[in-house]
Amino acid sequence: MIHVEGLTKYYDNFCAVDHIDLDVKGGEIVGLLGPNGAGKTTTLRMLTGYFQPTSGDIQVKTHSIYEDPLAIKRLIGYLPESAPLYKSMIVYDYLEHIARIRGLAGETKQKRIAQLADMCALRGIMHKTIDTLSKGLKQRVGLAHAMMSDPEILILDEPTSGLDPNQIVEIREIIRKIGREKTVILSTHILSEAEATCDRIVIINKGRIIADGSTQELTAGKGGDRHIQIGLMGVTAEEAADRLKAVPGIAEVVPMACDEADTIRLNMVCRSESDVRPDLYAAVKATEWVLVELGREAKNLETIFRELTREN
């Protein structure tokens, strides 16, 4: 559906997006994930034709962004961050204006507006000025704007930013509903959101793609370090560290801060594929120490994200 090749964008000397290659199939919900300033918005703006890439190509279906930007704009519905709508218009007039520009007229136009009003729960605010709406309501109007022509591709830039938890759930539900038939690309820096809504997650940092896959694929970890925490009583940290280092599979033992007196906590970095917890337990059992805690940090999206996007 969307084919991106070597996409690059420079702002003067600053490289915001650096040779991104991306293929999005029809019907996927793709989450662009990254810290602030990673290049998510810039990438989306190039996809929607708002920015011209410095180099590289974007193809949507068979249309190239250079040859037929208008055809691409017809296929894409876009909701920019913070939904910058015309403030002085009332919601109904605004949607009607957009419907006309999207080429809808007469009966179909009225039907589509009514449909979207139900879908995005806009019934009660149709005759309010956009200026007077709260952020969440504006976001919903923006979503209706993006979906006006029932586009094949929906691009949403941080669709849930600034919303309250109930609104977030609502918007996510709408996105998932649309995502069953349409291709959706959304950007976010909220991990749980990407996890909850997306089939596929693309992590961007400093303008480059650093990970790409489904949540399962990413959390499966592809090797990497795993962390095990252990809490012990009746032993000093140094003594415990010396002994536990000998357990096969443990690469590193680092004492951690602990609030309780008499208790020590250690963080162990484990580099083996197999589970080392039985060996650890056996090693502790052979001593007089009291084991109060033994846990493995589950490798969730959050830890992966932090590992990948950390400085250096």
Partner 1 sequence: MRQALLIFNKEFKDYFISPIAYIVIAVFLIVTGWLFFSTFFIFDQADMRRFFNLLPFVFALVVPIITMRLFSEEINVGSYELLLTLPVTFRDIIIGKFLAAVAFAAAMLLPTLSYPIFISTIGDLDWGTTLGGYIGAILLAGSYAGIGLFASSLTRNQIIACIVAMVICVTLAIVDQMLFFFPQSIVDVITFISSNAHFSNIAKGIVDSRDLLYFVSVAFLGLYATHLSMEEK
The contact set with partner 1 (CB under 8 A) reads 45, 48-50, 70, 73-74, 76, 78, 80, 82, 84-89, 97-98, 100-103, 145
The C-alpha angle 244, 248, 251, rounded to 5 degrees, equals: 70
Reading the block at residue 199, the tokens are 């089939």
Q: Which is nearer to partner 1, 46 or 230 (CB)?
A: 46
- Three-state secondary structure string covering 201-222: EEEEECCEEEEEECHHHHHCCC
Reading the block at residue 45, the tokens are 């703006």
**What minimum distance in Å lies between the beta carbon of 101 and partner 1?**
5
Burial of 236 (0-12, 13-18, 19+ CB in 10 A): exposed
Q: Which residues are 153's β-sheet partners?
A: 76, 183
**What minimum distance in Å lies between the beta carbon of 95 and partner 1?**
12
Reading the block at residue 51, the tokens are 């920015």
**What minimum distance in Å lies between the beta carbon of 143 and partner 1?**
12
Q: How far apart are CA 195 and CA 198, in angstroms?
A: 6
Contact 255, 265 (CB under 8 A): yes
**What minimum distance in Å lies between the beta carbon of 47 and partner 1?**
10
Q: Which is nearer to partner 1, 97 or 271 (CB)?
A: 97
**What minimum distance in Å lies between the beta carbon of 172 and partner 1?**
22
The structure tokens 């793709």 sit at 30
Reading the block at residue 134, the tokens are 């709260």
First-to-last CA distance in the chain?
Answer: 35
Q: How far apart are CA 11 and CA 238, in angstroms?
A: 52
Q: Which is nearer to partner 1, 9 or 102 (CB)?
A: 102
Q: Which is nearer to partner 1, 45 or 200 (CB)?
A: 45
**What minimum distance in Å lies between the beta carbon of 84 and partner 1?**
3
Q: Which is nearer to partner 1, 140 or 200 (CB)?
A: 140
Q: Which is nearer to partner 1, 84 or 221 (CB)?
A: 84
Q: Which amino acid is at 197?
A: T
Q: How far apart are CA 134 and CA 94, in angstroms?
A: 16
Torsion of CA 28, 29, 35, 41, to 10 degrees: 80
Q: Which is nearer to partner 1, 90 or 233 (CB)?
A: 90
Q: Which residues are 59's β-sheet partners?
A: 3, 64
Q: Which is nearer to partner 1, 145 or 189 (CB)?
A: 145
**What minimum distance in Å lies between the beta carbon of 256 and partner 1?**
46
**What minimum distance in Å lies between the beta carbon of 59 and partner 1?**
17
Q: How far apart are CA 123 and CA 70, in angstroms?
A: 31
